[in-house]
Amino acid sequence: MLQLPCPYCGPRDELEFSCGGEAHISRPLANNKISDAAFGEYLFLRDNPKGVFLERWRHASGCRRWFNVVRDTVSHDILEVYAMGSKPRRTAGKKAYNNSWRRTTAAEAAAVNK
Amino acid sequence: MVASDIDRGHGALNDKKKRYSAFALARNAASYHQDWQRAWRKASPKASYDAVIIGGGGHGLATAYYLASVHGMKNIAVIEKGWIGGGNTGRNTTIIRSNYLWDESASIYEHALKLWEGLAQDLNFNIMFSQRGVLTIAHSEHELKEMSRRVHAIRLNGIDSDVMSPAEIKKFVPCINIDQSIRYPVMGGFVQQRGGTARHDAVAWGYARAADDMGVDIIQNCEVTGLRRKGRKIIGIDTNMGFIKTNKVGCVVAGHSSVMADMAGIHLPLASRPLQALVSEPIKPILDTVIMSNAVHMYISQSDKGEMVLGAGVDKYNSYAQRGSFPVPEHMIAAAVELFPFMSRLRMLRHWGGIVDTCPDASPILSKTDIDGLYFNCGWGTGGFKATPGSGHVFADLIANDRPNKIAAPYALSRFETGFLIDEHGAAGVAH
Ligand SMILES: Cc1cc2nc3c(=O)[nH]c(=O)nc-3n(C[C@H](O)[C@H](O)[C@H](O)COP(=O)(O)OP(=O)(O)OC[C@H]3O[C@@H](n4cnc5c(N)ncnc54)[C@H](O)[C@@H]3O)c2cc1C
Ligand SMILES: [Zn+2]
């Protein structure tokens, strides 16, 4: 069983949490002009790495707050925990963030640049 | 709907010496079973092939078999990084059925079921296909209503499906607890009598042996490390045994599909998650059908060896670790014990996980990509074993003709752009 360090409550068993999947997917703005393909990418396509993964978790039966986790999907090691709205600070997380194909998508550009 | 004139393939294992039969058994008994031929050759990669299938699970091997037997493509190879059937094919709970809601699903799963019926003969291999029926239980008024709606939709597609009352269920499965006082009582259910189970390893071995007989190279312990292309065309694959030249590559790697797609710069809608199963110590025959429950999330059958085989839902986070988290089996055992109180005294023998490729609409992907000659067969997630022959059959057709047939067409990747999803969470929401 995983033990996750909730930044607000401390370490708790995985049973208390729900997992929100890939972190840092920005919604393209409503008035953007992106194509159906680009919108489909935002909506459905997912980063699914074998290795370091940035994901969102929610302490569902605790403080009910969301936070981000850098986790290795092979060893299940938790490498970093950081607040929603911020970016990973340690090397592994930073690298995963910068190297994700998500950063190069039209949807992401439409969300970030405006 | 489903075509009744399926080309099942032909040409393999005509050699009397090689065919398995009662005579062969007697002949080999005389030599103390020391002279059985290898089921398939130990092949090493040639410099080039007309097509390469990556992934030696049931789907990959079936694809190769139908490429050779239906489409006459015999200069092909199956590349497997471990041993064949060592992925989800050899880890699943072997439930087979075709009772899905939507027409697109009925078409592909029933195509598979028709191929299952007769597959042992096609392959000359005892795959222990047993149409013992699959019974899905409802635990609430609402679920029962939804179920009868599904039964009608399924029947409209010409697929057998019947609603059962609790009393009928008790008659069908005497060891089940239909006491209405339990937390999730049995309110009814529906059954597909043509559903059942098959021996998973035998499916991999049977396809491998028959494909090998037609000249297909089955290369084990060979890991694909890169997909090479020239512009928008595939030209070969890199492996730990060197470069292999080919113009057609079919990726059938289940939980590792996103990893493979990454090598080609393609993005998929998949999440790789552990799915777990366990078996008990063997006991005398007590359950001669398959029971599934979406609400308490558990499915169970009894193997021919006598083990109770149990499975449940996927773990809630992505993983490539091939082991699951403990709360999942704990939950499935609690559900099993409530429905089958005798199970509380059973000891569990083995427990394992497989990495399944879950798709947002709980339907598979059988698709060309925007790279010429690169095809994906994935997204079967928690429920692709039942589709093995059908998946291989239509995927072989897609690779050979470079265009999807009627069954495969709805499963193209483009549905995540057009929004024409095939939402089978109702039928596939329970992992099976
Ligand atoms: C516990 C469990 C229970 C299940 N129960 C059922 C059920 O009851 N009914 C049902 O219908 N389905 C069930 N499923 C789902 C079913 O097992 C799968 O959908 C199906 O077996 C997938 O077959 P496949 O051939 O596509 O994949 P696999 O059998 O996983 O084969 C993929 C192969 O690709 C290989 N590979 C990966 N990467 C590489 C590489 N780089 N180079 C070379 N080879 C590579 C792997 O080693 C593997 O052997 C279950 C799954 C699990 C895990
Ligand atoms: Zn908390």
* A61-97 pLDDT per residue, tens: 999 999 999 999 999 999 999 999 999 999 999 999 9
User: Which pLDDT band holds residue A110 (cuts at 50, 70, 90)?
Assistant: confident
Residues B204 and B262 in one domain: yes
Per-residue confidence (pLDDT) for residue B10, from 0 to 100: 76
Per-residue confidence (pLDDT) for residue B432, from 0 to 100: 54
Residues B166 and B280 in one domain: yes
Q: Is B56 in the pocket of ligand 1 (CB under 6 A)?
A: yes
- Atom 2, ligand 1: which residue's CA is nearest? B92
Closest by alpha carbon to B432, among B346, B356, B335? B356
Residues B308 and B173 in one domain: yes
B238 belongs to a structural domain: yes
Residues B80 and B221 in one domain: yes
B248 belongs to a structural domain: yes
Q: What is the CATH number of the domain that holds B339?
A: 3.30.9.10
CA pair distance B354, B352, nearest whole angstrom:
7
A44·B269 Cβ contact <8 A: yes
Residues B384 and B324 in one domain: no
Tell me how crowded residue B358 is: count the other CB atoms within 10 A of its CB. Answer: 23
Residues B337 and B217 in one domain: no
> In sequence order, which residues have a C-beta less than 8 Å from that of residue A60 and are 6 or more positions away?
A16, A17, A18
Residues B170 and B298 in one domain: yes
For ligand 2, the distance from its centroid to the CA atom of residue A64, given in whole angstroms, is 6
CA pair distance B70, B372, nearest whole angstrom:
22
Residues of chain B with pLDDT > 70, as a percent, come to 97
Domain count, chain B: 2
Residues B281 and B259 in one domain: no
Tell me how crowded residue A85 is: count the other CB atoms within 10 A of its CB. Answer: 8
CA pair distance A101, B332, nearest whole angstrom:
37
Q: What is the CATH number of the domain that holds A19?
A: 3.30.2270.10
Range of the domain at B188: 134-198+272-358
Q: What is the CA radius of gyration of chain A?
A: 15
Is the confidence at residue B122, as pLDDT, over 60? yes
ipTM score for this prediction? 0.96
B129 belongs to a structural domain: no
Residues of chain B with pLDDT > 90, as a percent, come to 92
Last residue of a domain, one of B315, B338, B358: B358
A104 touches chain B (CB under 8 A): no
- How much is the average pLDDT of B59-80? 98
Q: What is the CATH number of the domain that holds B248?
A: 3.50.50.60
Q: Is B95 helix (H, G, I), strand (E, B) or coil?
A: strand
Range of the domain at A106: 3-110
Q: Is B383 in the pocket of ligand 1 (CB under 6 A)?
A: yes
Residues B165 and B296 in one domain: yes
Q: What is the largest CA-CA distance in chain A?
A: 44
Is the confidence at residue B431, as pLDDT, over 90? no
Last residue of a domain, one of B340, B358, B376: B358
Is the confidence at residue B1, as pLDDT, over 80? no
Per-residue confidence (pLDDT) for residue B4, from 0 to 100: 58
**Is the CB of residue A108 less than 8 Å from the CB of residue A101?**
no
Residues B367 and B255 in one domain: yes
DSSP character at residue A51:
S
B244 belongs to a structural domain: yes
For ligand 2, the distance from its centroid to the CA atom of residue A70, given in whole angstroms, is 17
Closest by alpha carbon to B377, among B392, B360, B362, B389? B392
B37 belongs to a structural domain: no
**Is the CB of residue B378 less than 8 Å from the CB of residue B259?**
no
Domain count, chain A: 1
CA pair distance B390, B377, nearest whole angstrom:
12
Q: Is B194 in the pocket of ligand 1 (CB under 6 A)?
A: no
Residues B370 and B293 in one domain: no
Rounded to two decimals, the pTM is 0.96
Last residue of a domain, one of B358, B375, B390: B358
